[in-house]
A and B are shown apart, each in its own frame.
Chain A
């Protein structure tokens, strides 16, 4: 009775349309019905239920994986309508991992063998959507048979399914590939050619090399076909093939140019342009022609064509920038086009045009533009400025002072969301370019001073960089007291804890610097005259020191109870330091008799810290760790393997022990390193000299250090992570610098030239982005291997063909004979030649028919063999390198 009142799909659709608000209630009600109906034994009821479910799945996205088995039942019904519903449900909802998927194997086979054309189509369509390894393996023979079907629609779809077979089950190549290639030549039926070319286009996009031997067939289609769809696909194939074989490029450039100028179809024309620009860019005249066609696209009314025109220019830009420069005005104008695609594309082109000489002007224009455009595009512009300028370690930047101030300016743009990138660059430049540090600090200071910026969360990262820079290079700050004030201003409470921690650390550094220079100057007043210049510059008076200490009490004091451990720890560090230094200092601030003694003590403490901070941080190569040789007797992997075993066996209990073990190990390691140092417990002001000593003794564990003087000569060499200072005090530093300047290391400061590019420290491998070399998938590999085997007539392949198909036996044998014959003739010549001669023999046969016979074949083959060897003599390296078979069409 149930089935009598079953609602049809139409009822559901109508019902859905009448639901205004409670759609989901309606859907769940229908689902309930479906769950009941689908269990029915009546085929009509079941299939209708399944149809409704499929509809809801694709329109309302309800889950239908639970109905997988019912769908399989439906495809086994003899009634075509029911079968169709089942197939639709399967192809819409099955995945490779659907557990019942293997159950359809037999039904698919049955339908593939059906006499009813549309049933075969259904099965093929289904296979092309859900075929997994097992299905593809099981059904390859059926598909192979269908590839020779006399019914065009079936044959077409069988060819289409081959792509899935190859992808999932590469061994299918050995069975189907030959027939696939033969289908290329069925010029009598365009749909077939179209389907085959589509398949080859997909195959070639993954591994073009394997299909190079088929170039003659593709070429024939390129010249003969009149179907735009087919031509586009052939061009796509040649785009992949041409870069592999220069002779092929030479051969196809002419027909493609002709096609490009003759065709009326914009799609085909664009494809020709793209092929020329991507793969035939060495052919100057063709590129000129293509550029002419691009100009036509650019002035078209259709925004699609204008966009694609710009897109084509972007392709050509790296090799032929003139094509872009010709359209410079159009490109700039397009920046203000209402079409977002066109805007983006023209921005890309503008960035392509950037060079050392015009980077300043272009960036100026773009930044102005960014301030005016909507937030999204503004950030795109900023992003592309940042990435272009930082490209290859700031290759195009000459004037770093300008660039750094540009970074500061960009940070202040209202919609700027590029905080992270700007942060990274600021710090990176600080570490790499010594000369720009004063300007960096100035820019950083300006950012820190502005209380308004603290309210913008997008800027927090930049502020963190600014704070770090100002702390690290505090010696360039004109007024450190002012810096301290801005680092500790009340509004810093708006910052996230991580940034605030940086602020505190920088404040600490600045404080130490202030005290250090104060004490030095006080000291200088007493005796030596070396520090006088510093006081004048820094305006550090006893009053300001008091002010600073008070400021710290007030601003940092409350933070010692912060919930964030980083903040708390750093705050306590600072407070602890001020506690230590205060009594000593206050004595020295108020002149007394034993002032001198106190002062020495204070300055000793401050100097100790100052030395710690003034040790310069350098960039570290990403591969630095790898260069530390593993010392004898240290086995790195052994224990880790144990650890893994432990981890694998019992998870929660062991994790605790592991962490203990880990810390033990670390301790052990450090104790090894410092065991030789006798005075380790005594903190002395000679920490750096100790370090030097340590370094001398354990040179093994350090990176090989070079002399500073070599840096600018060999930019690629890696400087030691922490450059050692020979002296400890600032004045010694200055002496060092002077010495280095004498050695012509830093000539640019006083050079008469306008402005030389400062030294940018580069690391050899570290700067290259980690190349994510794509490891070709095993499947692709085995696929192309199989293709190569078949194309090159590998013996094993031939064997397997024999095994698989008795029908092909003769053919394969002939091939084998051919090969044997060849081998005896040309001795050491390798596969490529075999392939060539085989091909030529086939062609010969076609040309001369029966008449040619064996003799002609041999002769021809012989000639080719000779030709090949001669060429080999003439041009041996090419021969060695390119092992890919080259079709004789190209010779």
Chain B
């Protein structure tokens, strides 16, 4: 089972957090987590795993992957395979790449809800349900279509901001 997914930049600024076990949703824990993680991730060319029992309770491991200015962090327990988790991060990033065409930190900053949509298609309640980025894209596109359809019902955008963004 996957316990948490986090995306943060190299300065420790969180970009996405999703906790599948309530245990760690405590504010203080999260703060310290984002504070410490970038410090822990020191050298390049070392293995990407970490014992995370102290933060996430017994039987927790953590795997991270470093892409440009971002860290992708998955926390999982013994019913997941370590290397498969690394692959899963890859799947997630690939999907983002397809979705945003050469994804960069800015895309992730500004597409908060889309990020969640994508992640929810891959990981469902802590379980990995989909590992093909093509399949994920299909569903995400369907959801976007649905969203834009529902938005176009209210013909005129009601806010200045919304109108400006059109």
Contacts and interface: CB of A to CB of B under 8 A. Distances in A.
A236 to B, nearest CB: 6
B150 to A, nearest CB: 4
Nearest to B84: A267
B17 interface: yes
B113 A85 contact: yes
Interface in A268-310: 270-271, 303-304, 306-308
B5 to A, nearest CB: 11
A338 B44 CA distance: 10
7 contacts: A84-B143, A116-B146, A117-B142, A156-B129, A157-B129, A164-B125, A267-B87
Given A304-B48, A338-B43, A118 B124 contact: no
B28 to A, nearest CB: 9
A64 to B, nearest CB: 11
A44 B15 CA distance: 25
Contacts of A4: 158-160
B69 interface: no
A118 B81 contact: no
Contacts of B78: 205
Contacts of B146: 80, 116, 118
Interface in B5-39: 14-18, 20, 22, 25, 27, 30-31
A24 interface: no
A61 B26 CA distance: 9
B125 A128 contact: yes
A198 interface: yes
Interface in A18-75: 42, 44-45, 48, 51, 55, 58-59, 61, 63
Contact of A198 (B17, B86, B128, B147): B128
Contacts of A11: 161
A320 interface: no
B153 interface: yes
Given A84-B117, A191-B130, 19 more contacts: A5-B160, A6-B161, A9-B112, A13-B112, A51-B113, A58-B14, A58-B17, A59-B15, A128-B125, A163-B127, A194-B129, A202-B127, A205-B78, A267-B86, A270-B82, A304-B48, A341-B50, A342-B46, A342-B47
Interface residues of B, number: 59
Contact of A3 (B46, B124, B159): B159
A882 B160 CA distance: 72
B83 A88 contact: no
A205 B79 contact: yes
Contacts of A340: 46
B125 A163 contact: yes
A163 B129 CA distance: 13
A51 B129 CA distance: 26
A110 B96 CA distance: 32
B141 to A, nearest CB: 11
B147 to A, nearest CB: 5
B139 interface: yes
Given A58-B14, A195-B129, A80 B46 contact: no
A161 B17 contact: no
B93 interface: no
Nearest to B86: A304
A304 B150 contact: no
Interface string A93-113: 001100000000000000000
A58 B84 CA distance: 26
B22 A198 contact: no
B83 A267 contact: yes
Contacts of B113: 9, 51, 84-85, 88
Contacts, number: 161
Contacts of A795: none
Interface of A: 3-11, 13, 17, 42, 44-45, 48, 51, 55, 58-59, 61, 63, 79-82, 84-85, 88, 92, 95-96, 116-118, 121, 124-125, 128-129, 153, 156-157, 160-161, 163-164, 191, 194-195, 198-199, 201-202, 205, 228-229, 232, 236, 266-267, 270-271, 303-304, 306-308, 338-342
B147 A160 contact: no
Given A80-B150, A81-B147, A339-B46, A42 B158 contact: yes
A79 B130 CA distance: 27
3 nearest A-B residue pairs (beta carbon)? A128-B125, A267-B83, A80-B150
B47 A8 contact: no
Given A270-B83, A338-B46, A341-B47, A195 B127 contact: yes
Contacts of B98: none
Contact of A81 (B31, B43, B130, B150): B150
Nearest to A51: B113
Nearest to B83: A267
B83 A118 contact: no
A118 B47 contact: no
B147 A304 contact: no
A95 B109 CA distance: 26
B127 A199 contact: yes
B81 A267 contact: yes
Contacts of A45: 158
B4 to A, nearest CB: 12
B37 to A, nearest CB: 14
Nearest to A17: B109
B75 to A, nearest CB: 16
A61 B82 contact: no
A438 to B, nearest CB: 42
A343 B151 CA distance: 55
Nearest to B78: A205
A342 B47 CA distance: 8
B140 to A, nearest CB: 10
B67 to A, nearest CB: 16
B116 interface: yes
Contacts of A116: 146
Contact of A88 (B86, B116, B139): B116
A63 B91 CA distance: 32
Nearest to B132: A191
A205 B149 CA distance: 43
Contacts of B82: 267, 270, 304, 308
